[in-house]
Amino acid sequence: MSENWIWLIPNDPHYVPPADTHDRAKALMEEFAPESEEINLEVYEKPGYFGPGENGEGVYCPLCGEDLEEWLDEWLEREKESYWLNPETKMPCCQETISVYNLDFSRKAGFTRFLLDAMSPNVLPSEQLAELEALLGCELNQILIRI
């Protein structure tokens, strides 16, 4: 049995919404995804990479479209002590220097310090997403994961 999750992460990988919004955000998520068996809100020290692992992150170069999933795994392993300090790097495909935060994750992965998730197969409609964005003070990426 696979599990479906929706993950909400801020567009800015460094952004953490004010602590006094967290309880309300979880309550809204419970309201929006009432069938969800589990809802989590996590805050991390530094932007971590979140993807569904071997189910395929779908990581592409935003400049030339090259599949960079394997390259990113290796790069993160090599740079794990410092990647959040220096996320700019040369793309292996087109040799342009960009931030790994700006790779194209095709809504299957991302970097973040803040994660709000629900075990739910149902995508939040845009008006619910907008309500959470207003509460948390940021634009959110909605990521769909099947684990």
Interface residues toward Zn ion, by CB under 5 A:
61, 63-64, 66, 91, 93-94
- At residue 44, φ and ψ (nearest 5 deg) are -120, 155
CB of 69 vs Zn ion, minimal distance in Å = 13
Specify the residue, 66 or 69, whose C-beta has the smaller distance to Zn ion: 66
What residue is closest to Zn ion based on CB? 61
Specify the residue, 64 or 147, whose C-beta has the smaller distance to Zn ion: 64
- Are 26 and 39 in contact, with CB atoms under 8 Å apart? yes
Q: Which 8-state DSSP code applies to residue 123?
A: P
DSSP H or E stretch at residue 73: helix 69-78
CB of 85 vs Zn ion, minimal distance in Å = 23
Q: Distance (Å, rounded) from C-alpha 74 to C-alpha 70?
A: 6
Specify the residue, 21 or 102, whose C-beta has the smaller distance to Zn ion: 102
Specify the residue, 59 or 91, whose C-beta has the smaller distance to Zn ion: 91
Q: Which 8-state DSSP code applies to residue 20?
A: G
